[in-house]
Amino acid sequence: MPLDHAGALAEQVDALNTQLKHHAAVDVLRTAFDAAPNLALVSSFGAESVVLLHLASRVKADVPVIFIDTMLLFPETLNYQREVARTLGLRRVQVLRADTATTDPDDTLHQRDPDACCDLRKTQVLNTALADFDGWITGRKRYQSGRRADLPAFEVEAETGRIKVNPLAHWTPEDVQTYMVENNLPRHPLVARGYPSIGCAPCTTPVAAGEDPRSGRWRGQQKDECGIHFVNGKMVRTGATI
């Protein structure tokens, strides 16, 4: 990407963050679609995903949605994805899958190298899908982990020239739950069974009372994020709940 374009994009993102610092998520979404109309929403259809999907569908009814089926997801997640898409009238959901025939033919890579498994089944698929878009919308929030504590509403991926939009960056857990109740949104069935953060079935366990909500992800391993992306020219890990 030309340096002059990269600099202009960074300035645009800084201006948007300043302009919308105290604005609601719906304002962030409207502004995002005005600034970069060719945006995709990336969703895991996990525990809290329905909130962003509902908001975005009200701002842009035909918003493109990317859902990566890792082929290791819980059956409940696959059923929930179809239910939410039907309930919200999402007409442009892309269900994408990796080609694992050569790299992980027996579906055991997650046992030997969970980072490589996430890269194969999620990150590579996502990066390929996003090549057709100017940017993407995520459901990341500041409260989800320490590395997201300063998460802004808008970011720029210097390596790709894409804008990353985080409309719910400032939301609290209470905001999320209140929105779901007030809008009568369908809940992921695994949440009631002790899964506040939901990823692939082999790498997700129930969470006990008092535990961190993400403690059930890759339990017992030195890992708490699923993919690697570039943000502002720096390689960072980004969470599975997108």
- Distance, in Å, from the CA atom of 226 to the CA atom of 209, rounded to the nearest integer, reads 24
Residues 37-54 as b/e (b if ≥16 CB within 10 A, e otherwise) read eebbbbbbbbbbbbbbbb
Locus of tokens 């409207």: 30
Q: Which amino acid is at 236?
A: V
Is residue 166 within 8 A of residue 157, CB to CB? The reply is no
Is residue 179 within 8 A of residue 49, CB to CB? The reply is no
The Cβ of residue 90 has, within 10 Å, a number of other Cβ atoms equal to 22
- Distance, in Å, from the CA atom of 47 to the CA atom of 44, rounded to the nearest integer, reads 9
Out of 117, 200, 203, 226, pick the active-site residue: 226
- Distance, in Å, from the CA atom of 58 to the CA atom of 81, rounded to the nearest integer, reads 18
Is residue 76 within 8 A of residue 193, CB to CB? The reply is no
* Backbone torsion region of residue 152, taken as left when φ is above 0, otherwise alpha when ψ lies between -120 and 50, otherwise beta: beta
Active site residue 118: no
Residues labelled as active-site residues: 226
